Amino acid sequence: EMLADESFVLHKDDFNLHDEIIKACKHTGFQPHIVFETSQRDLMLQTVSANLAIALLPSRLCPEVGENTEVGSKVVVRPLVPEIIHTLYVIWKKG
């Protein structure tokens, strides 16, 4: 709920976590205010470093946002609690 008043930059809706993020926000009791959607992670981070929005990224992408990068020195990276659980499926060819 502490994110309810924030503006969000998200990956475009073709990104697999887009709907999960919106669903998690609604489950917490608010509709996220999405100000920008992009398929480019670097553009998301630039939007955050310009103080235009916050972003929710998969944990596997966050180590790349280290403080030694230009953008990384301007942003804070923290785990989201509670975590957003993402279900994966196994798909293979029949036969």
| Residues belonging to the chain | 95
Q: What is the pLDDT of residues 50-77, one digit of tens each?
A: 999 999 888 887 777 766 667 777 888 8
pLDDT at 67: 65
Please state the separation of Cα 43 from the chain's center in Å: 12
For residues 24 and 84, is the Cβ–Cβ distance under 8 A?
Answer: yes
pLDDT at 16: 79
Residue 41 confidence class, pLDDT cut points 50, 70, 90: confident
